[in-house]
Amino acid sequence: MNEIDQIPKKHLLSLQLDVSKFEPASAEEKEQHSQMREPSTFFKDGMKKLFKNPLAVGSLIVLLLMIITIVFAPMIVPYGYEEMITVGGVRDKTAKNMPPMQFSELEQQAIANGEEIFPHIFGTDALCRDYFIRVVYGARVSLSVGLFASLIVLMIGLVYGSVSGYVGGRTDLVMMRIVDIIYSLPDLLMVILLSVVLDPLLKDAIAHTSLEKIGTNMISLFIVFGLLYWVSMARLVRGQILSIKKNEYVLAARALGAKPVRIVKKHVLPNCISVIFISTALQIPNAIFTESFLSFIGLGVQAPMPSLGSLANAARQGLESYPYKLVFPAVAICLIVLAFNLLGDGLRDAFDPKLRK
Amino acid sequence: MEERTTHMWKYILKRLGLAVVTVFIIITLTFFSMNAIPGGPFEKEKAPDPAVRAVLEERFHLNKPVGVQFLYYIADLFQGDFGISLKTGRDIMQTLTESFAVSARLGGVAALSALVVGLVLGSIAALRRNGVFDRVIIFFTTLFVSVPSFVLATILLLTFCLKLNWFQVWSATGQQNYFLPILALALYPMSYITRLTKSSMLDVLGQDYIRTARSKGVAESKVIYKHALRNALIPVITYMGPMVAYILTGSLVVETVFTIGGLGSKFVTGITNRDYPMIMATTIFLAVLMVIATLISDLIYKLVDPKISFD
C-alpha cells in the first residue's frame, strides 16, 4: 500500500483534500511537464525580442557590413588614405577629381599595356587620392571615436554614479551638485571652447610620441567627453543604484558582512546593467554627431587623417562640380547614426520597456 | 495652495541661483582657458615697438596678473564691453549685436515653425495611429533625427540652389531667401517634437480622464484640444531649452554653409582665425542665451504641470 493511504481519515468538516481522488503522474506526464518551457534568462529573453524587431535586425546587419568593410577594405584596396595615386612608380597628376569608377589617362595607358589597376570606386579627390579609401578611413575614425568616447563616458559615469548613489548622504549631495552644474553647461559650446584651447596646449605635450599621429583635436575630443558627457550617465547609474539599494537581497548581503564594493559589483550593478548598456549604445551616435560637427567646423581630426565630418566639409569646395564627394561621406554618417539610433531603440524596447517615454 | 506658492518661489530662486552660478562658471572657464593658450596678441609677426607695446599692455591691463585681468574682464562684461576683435579690430559687442539680429530672425522662425509643425504632425500621427499618414511621418522623422545639420544644410544647398536652381545662393546684397536655412535648422527639432508629441499624446489618450470626458459626451474635438493636447504639451515644454541650444549651435554650420553673416558664421570664422577675444565673447553670449532658455523652459514646465512638486 502507498504511504499516502495511511493519512488519517478525513474529518467531516475539515478542508483537507481527499487524497484518494488523486493519482500519481505517469512518467510520460512528468516528461511533458518539464518540457513545457525551456529555462530562459533575462538576456536570452531580450535577445529573442530584439531579433523579432526587423528594424533593429536590419540596422545590426548594416552596422556589421560597415564594420567588415572598414576592417577589410584597407587590406584589399591597394591605395593609402594619404598617398597620391601612382602608376608604375610615377605620381599620377592626371588623377585629379575623377568621378566614381573612372581611370586617369596614365592608368588607361597602363591598362592598355596589360596592367591591372584597382578601380576607384568613389573616384578621387583634389589631391589625387583614392576617395573610397578616404571615406573608409573616415568611417573608421568616426566609429572609433563614437565607441571610445562612449566607453570613457560609461566608465567615469559608472564609478561616479555608483559611489554617489551607494554612499549617499552628504557625499551624494555634494557629488550631485557638481553634476548639476556640469549638466547645466551648454555641452557643445564647451566642447568647441576646450577644443580650441587644448589644441595649442597639447601640441607640444604630444610631439614625438605615438599619440602625435591621432592629433591634438582627437585627444582633446576624448578629454572633453571625459570631462563633460559623463554626467547624464552618472545620474542614471545613481538613480538605478538608489532604487536597487532598497531591495532585501542587498540588506541580506550587508547583514552577512559583505563589503560595499562587493555589494555594488555583485548585487547592484548586474541588476541595472541593461539600462546602462542601452544608454551607452545611444551615446555612440551622439558622440559621432559631435565628432563630425567639430570636424566640419575645422576642429576635428588632424589634416591628412580623414573623418566623415572633415570630408563633408572639404567637399563644400567645388560642390557644384563634384557633388559625389559630399554624397558619400554624408550617406555614411547618416547610415551609421540611423543604424545606431534604430538599434538603440530596439535594445530599449527589448530589454527595458519601462524606459520608453 | 499657499504652501505650493512658497515652494514655487523657493524653486524659482534655486533655479535662478543655479543659472547665475552656471553663467559665472562659463565666464571663468572661458577666460582662464583662453588665457592658458601660449602666446600673447603682440607676439605675432608684426611685433610692435616695445614702447608702443608697453602702452598697449597698460591699456588692455595685460601687464597685470591673470586674476586682476579676470576682474577687469568681468567689470567690462557688465558694461557690455567684450573687447575688440584681433582680426578685424572692430568692437566685438557691435559685431555681436549686428550679427545676432540676423541669427535671431533665422533661429526664431526655425524654432516657431518646428514647434507648430511638429505639434500638428505629432497629434495627427497619434490620432491616426498605425495609419498610412502615421507611418509616413514616423519614417521621415526617424530619418531626419539621424541627419546631422551640416549634412542636411549642404545637401539642401546642393539640390535646391545649385542643381535645381529653385533658390538663389544667399548673398548679403542680393536676394535673401531664408527658406532653405530655416528648413536646415528646423527639420531636426521638428522631427523630434513630432515624435515627442506623438508618444505623449498616445500616453494622454489612454488616461482615465479622457475616457471620462468621452463618456460624458464631450465633443471629440473638445476632448482633443482641451484635454488631450493641453496635457500632451507638457513634455514638449521641457524640450524648448534643448531646442534653443540645438538651433544656436546648428546655426554655426547652417550659416557657414549658406554664407549668412549671422552670429554662427562669425563664431566659426573666429575659430578658423583663432581670434580668441571673438571666440570668448561668442561662447559667453551663446552660453548665456542657452542657460536662459533652459531656465525659462524648466520654470514654465514646473508652473504648468500641477502634478509636479517643487522639491
ipTM of the complex: 0.80
Give the pLDDT score at A4: 54
pLDDT at A5 over 60: no
pLDDT at B310 over 60: no
In which region does residue B293 sit, left (phi positive, over 0), alpha (psi from -120 to 50) or beta (all else)?
alpha
For residues B213-219, give the mean pLDDT.
88
Q: Following CA atoms B99, B105, B111, B117 in sequence, which dihedral angle do they give, to the nearest 10 degrees?
A: -150
Contacts of B253 in chain A (CB under 8 A): 293, 296-297
| Percentage, residues of chain A above pLDDT 90 | 6
Phi, psi of A86 (to 5 degrees): -120, 140
Partner B contacted by A194 (CB < 8 A)? yes
pLDDT at A138 over 60: yes
Give the pLDDT score at B142: 87
| Percentage, residues of chain B above pLDDT 70 | 91
Between A24-33, A201-210, A243-252, B12-21, the lowest mean confidence (pLDDT) is in A201-210
**Contact between B150 and A319 using a beta-carbon 8 Å cutoff:** no
Shortest CA distance to B82 belongs to which of B294, B278, B267? B278
CA dist., res. A208 & res. A187, Å (int): 31
Radius of gyration (C-alpha) of chain B in whole angstroms = 24
In which region does residue B18 sit, left (phi positive, over 0), alpha (psi from -120 to 50) or beta (all else)?
alpha
Give the pLDDT score at B120: 92
For residues B152-170, give the mean pLDDT.
78
pLDDT at A63 over 80: yes
For residues A118-146, give the mean pLDDT.
81
For residues A203-221, give the mean pLDDT.
71
Confidence tier at A348 by pLDDT (50, 70, 90): confident
* CB environment A108-143: b (16+ within 10 A), e (fewer): eebeeeeeeeeebbbbbbeebbbbbbbbbbbbbbbb
pLDDT at B173 over 60: no
Between A141-145, B162-166, B238-242, the lowest mean confidence (pLDDT) is in B162-166
Confidence tier at A2 by pLDDT (50, 70, 90): low
Identify the three-state secondary structure at position B222.
Answer: helix
For residues A116-123, give the mean pLDDT.
75
Give the pLDDT score at A357: 39
Chain B residue with CA closest to A340: the answer is: B146
Give the pLDDT score at A356: 46
Contacts of B294 in chain A (CB under 8 A): 184
Nearest-by-Cβ selection for A184 from B143, B276, B291: B291
Q: Which of A55, A197, A311 to mutate to test the interface with B (most CBs of B within 10 A)?
A: A197
pLDDT at A302 over 80: no
Chain A residue with CA closest to B244: the answer is: A186
Length of chain A: 357
Give the pLDDT score at A346: 86
Instruction: Copy the grid coordinates of residue B95.
Output: 559685431
Nearest-by-Cβ selection for A326 from B33, B154, B272: B154
- pTM of the shown model: 0.80
Residues B276, B34 contacting (CB under 8 angstroms): yes
Q: Please tell me the distance in Å from B283's CA to the nearest CA on chain A.
A: 6
Residues B304, B281 contacting (CB under 8 angstroms): no
Residues B136, A327 contacting (CB under 8 angstroms): no
**Contact between A192 and B283 using a beta-carbon 8 Å cutoff:** yes
**Contact between B291 and A320 using a beta-carbon 8 Å cutoff:** no
Contacts of A180 in chain B (CB under 8 A): 18
For residues B80-102, give the mean pLDDT.
82
Nearest-by-Cβ selection for A185 from B26, B34, B235: B26
CA dist., res. A23 & res. A256, Å (int): 44
pLDDT at A229 over 90: no
CA dist., res. A51 & res. B206, Å (int): 29
Q: Which of A178, A183, A196 to mutate to test the interface with B (most CBs of B within 10 A)?
A: A196
Q: What rounded mean pLDDT belongs to chain A?
A: 80
Partner B contacted by A355 (CB < 8 A)? no
Q: Please tell me the distance in Å from A191's CA to the nearest CA on chain B.
A: 11
Confidence tier at B174 by pLDDT (50, 70, 90): low
Chain A residue with CA closest to B197: the answer is: A357
Residues A164, A176 contacting (CB under 8 angstroms): yes
DSSP state letters, A209-234: SGGGGG-HHHHHHHHHIIIIIHHHHH
Task: Kindly state the helix (H) or strand (E) to which residue A168 belongs, with its residue range.
Answer: none
pLDDT at A298 over 50: yes
Helices (H), B79-173: 92-127, 132-144, 149-156
Nearest-by-Cβ selection for A289 from B22, B39, B148: B148
For residues A90-119, give the mean pLDDT.
72
For residues A46-69, give the mean pLDDT.
89
DSSP A267: I
Q: Which residue has the higher pLDDT, A168 or B192?
A: B192
pLDDT at B16 over 60: yes
| Max intra-chain CA distance, chain A | 109
Q: Which of A184, A194, A223, A291 to mutate to test the interface with B (most CBs of B within 10 A)?
A: A184
Chain B residue with CA closest to A188: the answer is: B249
Q: Which residue has the higher pLDDT, B288 or B162?
A: B288
| Percentage, residues of chain A above pLDDT 70 | 87
Confidence tier at A33 by pLDDT (50, 70, 90): low
pLDDT at B193 over 90: yes
Give the pLDDT score at A8: 63
Contacts of A185 in chain B (CB under 8 A): 22, 25-26, 29, 287
